[in-house]
Structures are given as C-alpha cells and as structure tokens.
Amino acid sequence: MPGKSSKVRIFEDRETACRTLAGELAGLIATVNASGRDAVLGLATGNTPVPLYRELVRLHREEGLSFARVVTFNLDEYLGLPREHPESYWTFMHRQLFDHVDIAPENIHIPAGQPDDVGTHCAEYEQAIRDAGGIDFQLLGIGRTGHIGFNEPGSPRDSRTRRIELDPVTREDAADAFGGLDQVPTHAITMGCGTILEARRLGLLAFGERKAAIVREAIEGPITAEVSASFLQEHPDAAFFLDREAAEQLG
C-alpha cells in the first residue's frame, strides 16, 4: 500500500525481539565490512534498547562480533549535562555498550551536552554523518509523545540536528531517573527527522503496554509532525519491533 511501507514484527517478549535484531545487526556489520567499508550505526538510549546492547556485548564476548570497523552516531543528548553526569547519554552508552566492546573511541559520536556553540556543533554533527557515508542502520525508540530521537510534536519531516525544547510528558518520564522533575534538563540536541529518515534502514523498538497507544498512532494514524514516528510509514526500509503488549492496540 503506498505510504504504508513500514513492517510490523511482533515478538513473544522483548528479549526475543532484541536477540533477533542483534543477530541482524551482526549480519549487517559483517556484510558492510566485507564490502570494504566501516558499518555506520545510529544508536538510541532509554530503557528499551538495554536488552539489545546486552545481547550485542554477549555476541562480542562469546561469538566474535567485532566493532573494530563500526562507526556510531547517537540520536541525542541532554543540553547542559557534562559527559560524566550519571544521566548523560554519553554515560549511558559507555556503560551499556562501548566500555564492553572493541569500538575505537574516535568512531563514537554523541551530540555534546555542553557545546561551545550549539548551531556550529549541530552542523558539524550533520557533516560527520555525511563524511561517514550516511547511516546504514538507525535504531529508534519511541516516547509517549511519539518522538523519535527528541523530535517532539511539531518537528518537521525535513528537520535537521538542532536544539529542541523537551515536551512536558518527556520530562515527566525522565523525572524518576533524575531524582525529580526540576532536575530534568529542559532542552536537548537531537538529530532531526530528516537526518533520521536518511538512514538506509530503520528499526524502532517499543515494548510494554505503556507504549501501545502511541505505537498504534505511529503505525496506523496519519503521517504527521505531531507524531514524528509516523514518518517511518514513508520510509522504504523501516520496521517496528514490538512485544505483544506494545502491539495490543493494532487493528
């Protein structure tokens, strides 16, 4: 059906979904490396991808998966946080994945939480993605606002990496981790919808009943900047990896 090209893949549970995707990513890394270049992965943070990173670390330790020829670009970072802040996405990614695999530090890209100049930093981030040859696979989660990255409602289809004000719902969802709503940053840097949609392949993970309503909107609702994940409907190679609970409102 035109305009509805994204695939929906429903799994028994989140572990099975993450194991499946990790296996596919290992295959993608091998294929791209065999073609003579580094594999470029777009990565995501949050609770959702934690089992995926755990499985990628296991594949590295037990099955020889190497990240020596992998380049990564994370979707976003909170503005105002130093790298070493416990809730920075820099800290998250190193704890969950980078500290446990053989990736070269210079191949890791995460937007800066405290850039000298935000506009310059965002433009350089876009340029670094282009210089790497574009993103082969972009991992995504979905917020209750429908955001991918931190592309909150109103983020245009062609938006690029930029500073964004976090939606109140997004800040509320982060309040426990930060030890209170007043501790949650008000702004972030995020790749834009246009940046994300240029990836050759997209995989969005969503688990649990809390995500069921927004997952239905993203997959079956209108394609709109009010739900940035709905833009995946127009991408030629995008898949939603869901558990049964997250899929329960699909028609």
CB–CB of 196/138 below 8 Å?
A: yes
Smallest distance, Å, CB 170 to ligand PGA?
7
Sites for ligand PGA among residues 60-99 (CB under 6 A): none
Q: Which two tokens stand for residue 116?
A: 């000298």
What is the CA angle 116-181-169, rounded to 5? 90
- Total residues at the site for ligand PGA (CB under 6 A)? 6
For ligand PGA, the closer of residues 100 and 144 by Cβ is 144
- In the region spanning residues 32 to 51, those forming contacts with ligand PGA, defined by CB under 6 A, are 46-48
| Minimum CB distance to ligand PGA smaller for 110 or for 142 | 142
CA distance 57 to 3: 36
User: For residues 57 and 218, which CB has a smaller minimum distance to ligand PGA in the complex?
Assistant: 218
Per-residue binder mask for ligand PGA (CB under 6 A), 137-156, x = binder: ----xxx-------------
We find the least distance from the C-beta atom of residue 115 to ligand PGA, in angstroms, to be 22
Rule CB under 6 A: say whether 192 interacts with ligand PGA: no
Work out whether 31 is an interface residue with ligand PGA (CB under 6 A).
no
Indicate whether 185 belongs to the interface with ligand PGA (CB under 6 A): no
Residue with tokens 């899929």: 247
CB 213 within 8 A of CB 178: no
Of all helices (H) and strands (E), which one includes residue 127? helix 118-131
215: enclosing H helix or E strand: helix 212-220
- How far apart are the C-alpha atoms of 204 and 41, rounded to whole Å? 13
Q: Which amino acid is at 153?
A: P
CB of 158 to ligand PGA, least distance (A): 21
Residues near ligand PGA (CB under 6 A): 46-48, 141-143
